[in-house]
Structure 1
Amino acid sequence: MIVDNDLLSIQQARILAENAFEAQKRLATFPQEKLDEIVGHVARAVDAHAEDLARMSHEETDGGRWQDKLFKNRFVCRQVCAELSSMRCVGVIGEDPQKRITDIGVPVGVIAALCPVTGPVSTTVYNTLIAIKSGNGIIFSPHPGAARSIGRVLDIMIETATAHGLPEGCLSYLETVTKSGTCELMNHRAVSLVMVTGVPGMIESAQRTGKPVIYGGTGNGPAFIERTARIGQAVSDIIASKTFDNGIAPSAEQSIVVDSCIAEDVRRSLKSEGAYFMTETESDALAGLFFSPTGERRKGVAGLPAHVLARRAGFCVSESVTVLVAERRYVSETDPYYREFLAPVLALYVEDDWMHACEKCIELLLHERNAHSLVIHSTDEDVIRQFALKKPVGRLLVNTPAAFGGMGVTTNLFPSMTLGSGSAGRGITSDNVSPLNLVYTRKVGYGVRRMEDITDVPDNSTAVRSGFEKAKIDNSAMVQVIQQILQKAIEAIDDPADR
């Protein structure tokens, strides 16, 4: 029998959405303590399988390093879970006794979530934990390139969560994944919010739903090494970040912008950290591995180590090479090195001073359009402040490896696997997405004064005050007119001559 996968996926989407809608109604009645209990059990269950899941996702996607995927899995199950434990997301989440204002956290409802091939397990677990923590149902559309590992971790979480009280249907996923089914899921009336993490090809479809969209978009922004930077530390941070999971981490650097007066020192430091500077011919050949002549991204190269990429591009480097560097002068649509490679590949730009470097970073961010992170290595607080004020980006990371700083490992940003895009992006938030992005706040305001007690009206409010007084006069006159009409009507009824 021939099976139409599109129709099957659409049917599954409808059933899952309707089931989740009914189940979430029950979940919305759970107190924060019960939600926290479920979150804790789910995190511990995944942590017990963290290494197996890391190996599985590495084998399935053929990208990155399983050891680094294990780090991300444990980061979510341990550090993120610890951070979540102290948060209140539903019920009373804030009170100001002095102003007599209370904040009530209310779940948004049912979330449709799309997860990436680059971090399939850790992102799926993270989005699940924050959804349950905030009392929301969540339905996943797994990335086809990582459907087996995403399905496996979801099965573990569904079994654990339901065993500890999560209403059946609140956590589920499409088993037959097609674009038609995913679009049906996002558009379903039962779905209140769409989360698109690392799946840029689906962002336009998500936006067409007319629903709020949280977009964890393209990362890989530039890193600026300013002349006052500690050069050795800056380069070491960049290499550590760009080689983590072989460059797949979304917040990792894509390019380096350098002050010209320290350019040679930066080049020497990069070489000492294992960087290989490609010739123009080698740079062109490498770019051809990642992008077709018409600009389409090619599959099968993300997350491969530097020496493997070089061999596929037709030149040889040592296995000790950490990153491949292409020196560039301009940012243009014809030069693919402004784009996200998701591999240990870096572009290097040299600028005369921090002001020109500032403009170069803006160019790179705007060409990338959805880039969510930018790094600056500097000890000049004025320069850092100028970068923070002017860059169209979601987060500025200072003197830290971008891959780790962005997700909150080496910074005090909220520990997260879903990083919102910045002012150049297309989502509703640039935050490190947390459970608080999945609730709305109901404001409760108590009356603290009466209108008749308000006597101190500012002079510029004379017109408003006279308006109130006029309204009182008009109201009294209207009452008198109505009373006269009613009296005449009664008299007419009682007078027999009028019958």
Structure 2
Amino acid sequence: MSSIDQVAEVEAIVARARAAQAAFEADGSQQAYDRAAQAVAWAIMEPSRNRLLAELAVETTGLGNVPDKVTKNHRKTLGLMRDIQHAKTHGIVSNERATGITEIARPIGVIGAVVPSTNPGATPANNIINALKCGNSIVVSPSPKGVPTCEALIKFIHVEFDKLGINRDLVQMIPGRGSKEKTQRLLEVSDLIVVTGSQNNVRRAYTSGTPALAVGAGNVAVIVDETANLADAAQKIETSKTFDNATSCSSENSVVVVDEIYDAFVAEMAKSGGALIRDESKVISNLWVKGHLNPKAIAQDADKMIAALGLTDEVPADTSYIAVESKGIGEDHPLSGEKLSRVLTVYRAEDFNDAVRITREIELFQGAGHSVGLHSQVEERALTLARLIPTSRVIVNQAHTFATGGAFTNGMPFSLSMGCGAWGGNSIDTNLHWRHFMQTVKIVREIPANEPALEDIFGDYWMEAGQ
């Protein structure tokens, strides 16, 4: 298919989506929006479909593992549905007498969503649910390896739509293996773009001329200080690091350990399946091949990853991840960046202040704005990280992968896309959630005058500086 034909194909899909959205909005109600969102949620959460999508994702992308993808598809969707269950997204959503302002919810229109191969089921489902909850239509552009999973997901969605008489054109995808031309045109003709994954796609989204919600790269560093519950911290890091074979942008990539408890924490890591390698050259030479991450190690089960790194005879048989000692940070030290594998870099810090310095350097090198973690019993230390680290989230005493994107044990919105603020070159610093898919009209009424006297505003200033 020529580039002209590819562009025409995308334009035809978006045109159908636009017509479907107009009708969806014209006949819209909160119940209609909610039912459409529920249909999508059940399409991915129904157990047999969930497992099929998880198996298909692992088979076609070669990333992650089936049990964890089943868990992710279920829990991420269930959490999202909890978050949006009572959200008002149709009609009057607020009416303030004091300000005289009434807000009416309105859809944005056609959402264009570019989704990664790491989560080819959960991420598009998340975006689709949010879009429909707010009265939009959506067109998904999956990564080439994610196409089969996305096709299956949308097929299941359409089966649910047919039960309720919902227009299938509300949820579509760019067919085939995709191309830069197709994706670029989707970015240009949608009303809002949501991009998760490749930073090249993120940059294209922000320069497309269309309003964009695109998120930054992860490279999580976690501090373990001398007051931490070491066994608890080690167990949570292992559970988080190994989940879905470290495909998540919220997976720990480095742990910065205070010297006072370094040896004790290494021992706890070993009990939890973390094998320490002190010679980083052994890992670097096999984790990167010709300057790129080794596909035989990326997002693989522990035994396959360990074999790819040539460490089978050097670590215990029950090893679930590799911990590698390092001191370097930056371009010449690849272990300080995101590794998308069961490899965790370990830094030794003199004290907590030194740990903050190391963590800051790591985040400034890669992953700025995303998130950092802290295992500590000193509450003020979280505030220190919030003031000194370029990050949008400080996750305290939790398994980072689960906590960052929303958990049933914290208040973060359930999401698979984490905004990284200006630090990460993003327009948002929150988890992507339903409110980003809605806009409002403001009816503004006159109210009694509320004009302050100059003294009310400048009185304290004049006392200090004079008039």
Q: Tell me the TM-score normalised to structure 2 length.
A: 0.91
1:312 aligns with 2:308: yes
The separation in 2 between residues aligned to 1:135 and 1:377, in whole angstroms, is: 41
On the 8 A contact 1:106/1:440 being kept in 2, the answer is yes
The equivalences for 1:182-221 within 5 A come to 182-188=183-189, 191-221=190-220
Cα drift, residue 348 of structure 1: 0.5
Structure 1 match to 2:464: none
State the one-letter code of the partner of 1:154.
I
Partner of 1:425: 424
Residues 99-248 of structure 1: matches in 2 within 5 Å? Answer: 99-161=99-161, 163-176=163-176, 177-188=178-189, 191-248=190-247
Which residue, 297, 302, 305 being the options, matches 2:298? 302
Look up the equivalent residue of 2:352 and give its one-letter code.
Answer: W
The one-letter code sitting in structure 1 at the alignment partner of 2:264 is D
Segment of structure 1 superposing worse, 299-308 or 135-144: 299-308
Could you tell me how far 1:265 is from its partner in structure 2?
A: 1.2
Instruction: Give the AA of the match of 2:187.
Output: M
Look up the match of 1:91. Answer: 91
| 3-state secondary structure, aligned to 1:364 | helix
Deviations 1:203-232 (A, max 9, x none): 222122022221233223101112211111
Contact 1:392/1:423 (<8 A) preserved: no
**Structure 2 counterpart SS, 1:120:** coil
Residue 374 of structure 1 is aligned with which of 342, 364, 372?
372
- Greater mean alpha carbon deviation, residues 112-121 or residues 14-23: 14-23
Name the residue aligned to 1:327.
325
Give the stretch that moved more between structures: 246-255 or 101-110. 101-110
Matched residue, 1:14: 11
Give 1:485's aligned residue: none
- Please tell me whether the aligned partners of residues 235 and 270 of structure 1 are also in contact (alpha carbons under 8 angstroms): yes
Q: Indicate the SS of the match to 2:140.
A: strand
Query: Following TM superposition, by how much is the alpha carbon of 1:21 offset from its aligned partner in structure 2, in angstroms?
Result: 2.0
Q: For 1:9 and 1:164, locate their aligned partners in 2 and report how far apart those are by CA, in whole Å.
A: 32
Residue 277 of structure 1: aligned partner: 276
Contact 2:372 2:391 in 1 (8 A): yes
Q: Contact 1:158–1:172 (CA<8 Å) still a contact in 2?
A: no
Shift, 1:455, TM fit: 9.0
Opposite residue 196 of structure 1, the aligned amino acid is V
Q: Give the 3-state SS of the residue equivalent to 1:347 in structure 2.
A: strand
Deviation of 1:299 (Å): 3.6
Cα deviation, 1:236-277, whole Å, max 9, x if unaligned, reads 111110011111122111100111111111111111111111
Contact 2:374 2:382 in 1 (8 A): yes
- C-alpha separation in 2, matches of 1:400 and 1:93: 34
Equivalent in 323, 342, 345 of residue 344 of structure 1: 342
Is this contact kept in 2: 1:9–1:174, CA < 8 A?
no
Indicate how the Cα distance of structure 1 residues 458 and 70 shifts in structure 2: closer, same or farther if over 3 A, else same: same
> Could you tell me how far apart the structure 2 residues matched to 1:290 and 1:10 are?
38
User: Is the CA contact (8 Å cut-off) linking 1:366 and 1:392 kept in structure 2?
Assistant: yes
Q: Please tell me whether the aligned partners of residues 38 and 165 of structure 1 are also in contact (alpha carbons under 8 angstroms).
A: no
Between the aligned partners of 1:162 and 1:442, the Cα distance in structure 2 is 32
Task: Please give the per-residue CA displacement for 1:409-463, whole angstroms capped at 9, x wherever unaligned.
Answer: 242211112222243212211211111011223333321126xxx89754699xx
Q: CA deviation at 1:103?
A: 2.4
> Which residue matches 1:435?
434
Matched, 1:65 2:65: yes
In the alignment, the residues of structure 1 paired with residue 53 and residue 220 of structure 2 have an alpha-carbon distance, to the nearest angstrom, of 29
Structure 1 contact 254–346 (Cα < 8 Å) conserved: yes
Secondary structure of residue in 2 paired with 1:118: coil
Residues of 1 paired with 2:162 and 2:431: CA distance? 28
Distance 1:26 1:300, change over 3 A: farther
CA-CA distance at 1:143 after TM superposition = 0.9
CA distance in 1, matches of 2:8, 2:287: 36
Aligned partners of 1:248 and 1:137: how far apart in 2? Answer: 28
Q: Return the TM-score normalized by structure 1.
A: 0.85
1-side partners of 2:451 and 2:381: how far apart? 50
* Corresponding residue of 1:412: 411
Q: For structure 1, which segment, 121-130 or 304-313, has the greater mean C-alpha deviation from structure 2 after superposition?
A: 304-313
1:25 maps to what in 2?
A: 22
- Give the letter aligned to residue 25 of structure 1: A
Amino acid at match of 2:13: L
Q: 3-state SS of the aligned residue for 1:18? A: helix
Pick the structure with greater CA Rg.
1
* Equivalent residue in structure 1 for 2:386, among 373, 385, 388: 388
Work out whether residues 101 and 443 of structure 1, in 8 Å CA contact, stay in contact via their aligned partners in 2.
yes
Shift of residue 162, structure 1, vs aligned partner: 5.2
1:285 is displaced (CA, Å) by 4.3
CA RMSD of aligned residues (A): 2.2
1:81 aligns with 81
Question: Are residue 42 (structure 1) and residue 40 (structure 2) matched?
Answer: yes
Is the Cα contact below 8 Å between 1:306 and 1:345 reproduced in 2?
no
Letter in 2 for 1:341: K
SS in 1 for 2:344: strand
Distance of aligned partners of 1:333 and 1:202 in 2 relative to their CA distance in 1, 3 Å threshold:
same
Map residues 448-487 of structure 1 onto 2, 5 A cutoff: 448-449=447-448, 457-458=453-454
Number of residue pairs matched?
A: 451
2:297–2:309: 8 Å Cα contact kept in structure 1?
no
Q: Residue 300 and residue 186 in structure 1: after superposition, are their counterparts in 2 closer, same or farther (change >3 A)?
A: farther
- Unaligned runs of at least 5 residues, structure 2: 458-467
Structure 1: which 5+ residue stretches go unaligned? 462-499
Q: Which has the higher mean CA deviation after the structures are superposed, 346-355 or 104-113?
A: 104-113
